[in-house]
Amino acid sequence: MIEVKNLHKSFMGKTVLNNISGVFQQGSVNMIIGASGTGKSVLMKSIVGLYEPDSGEVLYNGRDFYRCDRTVKKSIRQEIGMLFQGSALFDSKTVEQNVKFPLDMLSDYNESEKRDRVNDILKRVGLENANKKMPSELSGGMQKRVGIARAIINNSRYLFCDEPNSGLDPQTSILIDNLIKEITVEFNTTTIVVSHDMNSVMEIGDHIMFLYKGDKVWEGTNTEIMDAEPESLQHFILANKLLRSLKETRN
């Protein structure tokens, strides 16, 4: 479980996150949604430690990430796996080397154990024959799968996905969404997904937090979101023609 308390972040005097609080449960897909520029990615990057917040707390199972000592912080970091928007694969390394990288750096497995684990994980994400390929030889969807494999190889307890569907076709988006959902359940991870894709929200979002201009405006489940009251959220949801017609039909 990850708990965020009164998180505040500003850049050059401009407030990007305004006292955000919330709880992200283990074993469920927690989604942070909102329009572009509302602070979704900044919130996620503040939680994983890429941006240090101006104030507030981030608790990983009760361990305060910004106030713990270096050893605890390092151990928390080793429990984090992250899928970046552009996959962020190391382009000078093969798929196998990319996925093995966290094990090389952070584990004491021997080479054959590492190779077995990499093969298992690549099989799990449906890339069993891609070991020797370079990232540039992969499609966008395959790169995301490798990114997910790299994120979970070290038995991560916390999985972060920044816009996992960006640049993917609708069919591949659904595959990636489902993969994230399956991994969350299978590995019992606390998963946080930043997205502005309502299809993903309806498909896999167990718990949703909506941000608007740096404020948390609403949170709830994907069954409640269609009836949520905030106007900004309704505008966001109903920008999608399909959802607009769905709501009209329901009404």
Partner 1 sequence: MISNIGKYCLFIKSLFVNRERFRIYVKLIFEEAVEIGYNSIVIVALISTFIGAVTAIQTAYNMTNPLIPNTVIGFIVREMTFLELAPTITALVFAGKVGSSIAGQIGTMRITEQISALEVMGINSSSYLVLPKIIGTMITYPLLVILSITLGLTGGYLSTTITGALTPNEYIEGLRMEFIPYNVFFALIKSIVFAFIISSVSAYEGFYTTGGALEVGKSSTKAVTNSCLIILIADFFLAELLL
- Provide the binding-site residues for partner 1, judged by CB under 8 A: 45, 48-50, 70, 73-74, 77-78, 80, 82, 84-86, 88-91, 101-102, 104-106, 150, 160
For partner 1, give the closer residue by CB, 9 or 216.
Answer: 9
Contacts of 206 (CB under 8 A, 6+ apart): 25, 28, 29, 30, 221, 222
Measured distance CA(32)–CA(111) in Å, rounded: 38
CB of 78 to partner 1, least distance (A): 5
The distance of Cα 73 from the centroid of its chain, to the nearest Å, equals 19
Nearest Cα to Cα of residue 8 among 43, 44, 50, 60: 43
Query: How many angstroms separate the CA atoms of 171 and 217, rounded?
Result: 30
Q: How far is the CB of 73 from partner 1 (least distance, A)?
A: 8
- When the beta carbons of 85 and 199 are compared against partner 1, the nearer one is 85
Which one, 160 or 210, has the nearer CB to partner 1?
160
Please give the Cα distance from 134 to 121 (Å, whole number): 17
Q: Which is nearer to partner 1, 102 or 164 (CB)?
A: 102
Q: Which SS3 state, helix, strand or coil, does residue 6 take?
A: strand
Distance of CA 89 to the CA centre of its chain: 16
How distant is the alpha carbon of residue 125 from its chain centre?
16
- Give the shortest CB-84-to-partner 1 separation in angstroms: 5
Residue 35 beta carbon to partner 1: minimum distance, rounded to whole angstroms = 21
When the beta carbons of 43 and 217 are compared against partner 1, the nearer one is 43
Q: Shortest gap between Cβ of 249 and partner 1 (angstroms)?
A: 41
